[in-house]
C-alpha cells in the first residue's frame, strides 16, 4: 500500500465523517493534526481541533441536513490529496454568521447546493492542512447573500 493510497483512505474517512450526512465529532481527534488549518473560501480560516469542531458544530446547527460528497476520484501525490465534491444543505436552523459574505437570520429556509475542490496535506497519518475553493457564486446567490449586478 503506497503512502498515497493510505492518505486517500484518511481523506476519504475524513470527508465522510466530517463533511458527510452524519457528522462524527470524534473523527477530529482521530484524523486532524492538533494544529490543523481548515480554510475554505466561503469562511474565515480555522486552526486547531477545538476551532475546527466549533466551525462544524455551528455550521450544522444552522444547516441540519448539511452533507457533502465526492464528485470524482481523489487525486494523490506525495503528501497531497485533492478532492472534488458537491453538496450543501437547507438553512432551517440557527442564525449563521460564518459566511464571509454576510449573515443569515435564523431559519431562512434557503437551500445551497454547490461544488468545490479541496487540497489536503497529510503528514504521519494526520491531516495538517485542508484548503478548499468553494463555488461561492452559486452558494451565495442561492442563500440570497449576493446577487448578480
Question: Which residues lie near other proteins (CB under 8 A)?
Answer: 1-2, 4-5, 8-9, 11-17, 20-22, 41, 65, 67, 69-78, 80, 82-84, 86-87, 101-102, 113, 115-117, 119, 133, 135-138, 140-141, 144-149
Report, in Å, the least distance between residue 33 CB and other proteins.
Answer: 19
**Closest CB to other proteins among residues 34, 144:** 144
DSSP secondary structure letters along 76-117 = EETTEEEEEEEEEEE--SS-EEEETTEEE-TT---EEEEEEE
Q: What are phi and psi of 43, to 5 degrees?
A: -125, 160
Report, in Å, the least distance between residue 4 CB and other proteins.
Answer: 7
**Closest CB to other proteins among residues 36, 145:** 145
Burial of 48 (0-12, 13-18, 19+ CB in 10 A): middle
Amino acid at each position: 500500500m503506497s503512502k498515497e493510497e493510505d492518505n486517500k483512505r484518511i481523506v476519504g474517512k475524513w470527508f465522510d465523517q466530517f463533511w458527510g450526512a452524519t457528522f462524527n465529532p470524534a473523527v477530529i481527534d482521530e484524523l486532524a493534526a492538533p494544529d490543523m488549518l481548515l480554510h475554505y473560501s466561503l469562511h474565515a480560516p480555522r486552526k486547531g481541533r477545538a476551532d475546527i469542531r466549533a466551525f462544524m458544530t455551528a455550521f450544522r446547527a444552522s444547516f441540519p441536513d448539511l452533507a457533502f460528497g465526492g464528485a470524482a476520484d481523489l487525486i494523490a501525490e506525495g503528501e497531497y490529496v485533492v478532492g472534488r465534491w458537491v453538496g450543501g444543505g437547507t438553512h432551517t436552523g440557527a442564525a449563521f454568521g460564518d459566511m464571509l459574505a454576510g449573515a443569515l437570520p435564523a431559519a431562512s429556509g434557503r437551500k445551497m447546493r454547490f461544488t468545490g475542490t479541496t487540497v489536503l496535506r497529510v503528514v504521519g497519518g494526520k491531516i495538517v492542512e485542508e484548503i478548499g475553493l468553494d463555488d461561492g457564486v452559486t452558494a451565495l446567490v442561492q442563500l440570497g447573500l449576493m446577487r448578480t449586478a
